[in-house]
Amino acid sequence: MTETKTSENRPSETHTGVIGRPIDRIDGPLKVTGGATYAYENALEGAAYGYILGAAVAKGRIAEIDTAEAERAPAVLLVMTHRNAPAQPDFGPAVTPTVPEVFTRARPALNSERVRYYDEPVALVVAETFEAARAAAGFIKVRYDEEPGLYDLPGHMADAYAPKRTNAGFETDSMIGDFESAFAAAPVKIDATYRTPFEHHNPMEPHATLAAWSGNELTIHTSAQTLANFRAGIASTLRIPPERVRIVSPFIGGGFGSKLIAHSDTILAALAAQVLQRPVKIALTRQQMFANAGHRAEMIQQVRFGADADGRLTGIAHDVWSAASSFEEYCEQTAVFARSLYVAPNRVTRHRLVPLDINRGEWMRSPGEAPGMLAFECAMDELADRLGLDPIELRIRNEPAQDPERGVPFSTRNLVACMKEGARRFGWERRNPTPGRTREGRKLIGYGMAAAIRPNYIGAATAQVAVDRDARVTARLDMTDIGTGSYTILTQIAADSLGLPISSIKVELGDSRFPRTAGSGGSWGAASAGSALHNACNALKQRILKAAQSSEASPLHGASATEASFANSEVRIGQRSAGLADLIRRIAPDGFEAEGSVAAGATTESYKAYSQHSYGAHFAEVAVDCDTGEIRMRRMLAVMGAGRILNAKTARSQIIGGMTWGIGAALMEQTVLDRRYGHFVNHDLAEYHVPINGDVPEMEVVFLEEHDDKANPLGAKGLGELGVCGAGAAVANAVYNATGVRVREFPITLDKVLPALPVIAI
């Protein structure tokens, strides 16, 4: 029999199918009616409540801990400290040998009298109610032998060292040509140092866990972005096989990277549930999250450009010094994007870490690119100003024909198109290149722009799909939805591939019993899980076609055309067609199942042979009060090129969220570390300022669609984190254009702008 192939092995590039349409979120009704159950909302009979007590010093040892009064408190079931916690493996070396071990290493809690950072858990109280546990924790008396610590990044630059690698496995340094000589000889130079502060994720849903044992099987209801990593990390910590750990996380109230690994709430809930032999739930308070759930590190960045008189770069250097934890290394790939953004024959990028006595930094939305582009794209604006050249024209003159450091072609690259389209839509021609010259009454008006770039990743993933006798499809993956629309996107992919309405598709996510995916993170979720599901649907179609042609009960029996299609709930082979539900009832009353997978991009030839990125251009308009220095956003525009757009509505929401993060990074967000005592001072949402409704202006998002056939079967690219890349720099450049004040220490607050504002007569 001639093999029959479907005509949908690659999704249609037209907009007539389900993919690309702005479909409302599948999980939306559940969330607005309260039907979506989050980690702490899960209810199990007999569940007890845990409350964590954190260390009152940042470095030292527990000399004495008195828990007697807490143990006698009403309704208390357990007080756990390092003296009675179940045995766990040592934490291990500060530097893990391979990238996967960063996620899967054991992360013990309460296993030592050593205090490594402020608010590190020193005790856990479990009681019949949360209030009883919290009250009893206040009765615990702890005496510390405090030790002097290091908490000052600028003051300890001499202690900086080169890590073996940066996040995601990128090389720590890169060097091409002779930058120092080129810089010395350049007619035009920029040498600027920028400082970006500690920042914290603060998803709406705090980190929370409900742990329950059944015999030697552990079930964890938690808020996790990557179930496989959580499962492996918990298993390593508890010294049990991963198969005995089940992670359930169907709904997540935001993560932004802070939920890629298990934290103390998860480990302590599992340990306490094991000791008590009853379910235990723990949630970190908002204040506890600032020390125990990761952060973006403070950084000092030196950006140097050498250029000729026409603005063509002769040298690029980006040096980064980051605060790091003394007990676990983490290095954002802050300068890596600069290796692919602009052409220059002489190039240097370097990353250095300064170990401090704080908790480790972690992945925070667009790690590396977000703080790196904030500095780098401001420096490009400084260079354009020095040259008297339009910032867009400067970038166009330095557009590379191939990846400047890898020497391979780009899979696609539409950065210039994004800038030109953005300029047209934004009215860039109205920008006065001389700062401080555009006024509306007592307001100074400024325009700014910046480029956006982010690597495109794909992670290994597998999906399972089944169709029943009524042509109802169920897809299962351990993929998660952290508020980005995974349920919706995957529903669209399955419906498009199988030619069915979305009402016929049910997507089940967030359970480690389902096939493994790369989870949500790194903007790889939709492409990775989506490609696996697409391949699973293709495998399912081949099973259906084979049975339809060979079964005598099939109305398509003996059909021999080489092309087939699934559309409008029908299967068509040549000129013959049959309804899918009727066909399955005839040939397989129990339905069909199939699996599909996709390999990690790093292992595939297309990722080795091509430089793969998503691109964009941000534009911002601000108004600055010339009397008070108050900065107000007026409007923003983002023009993005991220391959094929799978859902126009959820994609727009992702970019708007990123742009809002950019406003926060430029103007508001900063966690202040007390350099004397090592604790974050503003560890709550009252004093950690993020943009709210009144701070966010009119925002417009435009997509320049393309099909990147080198990226994945869907032709889509990473999108979620692209929106923050360069957004803050566009805001900062607009502030400069409005005022003539160049602020290099972020965020740009009133005290940094006001003293240098031009005096304008009333």
Please state the φ and ψ torsions of residue 603, each to the nearest 5 degrees. -95, 0
Rounded distance between C-alpha atoms, residue 235 and residue 634, angstroms: 50
Return left, alpha or beta for 23; rule: phi > 0 is left, psi -120 to 50 is alpha, else beta.
Answer: beta
644-680: string of b/e by CB count within 10 Å (b at 16+)? bbbbbebbbbbbbbbbbbbbbbbbbbbbebeeeebbb
- List the alpha helices (DSSP H) in 34-73: 68-72
Rounded distance between C-alpha atoms, residue 418 and residue 416, angstroms: 5
Rounded distance between C-alpha atoms, residue 519 and residue 511, angstroms: 11
Sheet holding 313-325, edge to edge: 174-176, 346-356, 313-325, 299-307, 188-196
Rounded distance between C-alpha atoms, residue 681 and residue 683, angstroms: 6
Sheet holding 5-6, edge to edge: 5-6, 563-567, 570-573, 576-579
Rounded distance between C-alpha atoms, residue 663 and residue 114, angstroms: 39
| Residue from 189, 193, 223, 388 nearest 293 by CA | 223
- The 10 Å Cβ neighbour count of residue 512 is 21
Q: Copy the structure tokens of residue 209.
A: 């866990």
User: What are the distances in angstroms from CA 457 to CA 405, 521, 757?
Assistant: 18, 10, 43
Dihedral sign for Cα atoms in the order 274, 275, 277, 278:
negative
Q: Which of 217, 429, 721, 745 is catalytic?
A: 721
Told to judge if 721 belongs to the known catalytic residues of this protein, a careful annotator would answer: yes
Dihedral sign for Cα atoms in the order 254, 256, 261, 267:
negative
Cis bond upstream, residue 93 (ω within 30)? no
Place of tokens 């400084």: 382
- Catalytic residue numbers, as ranges: 721
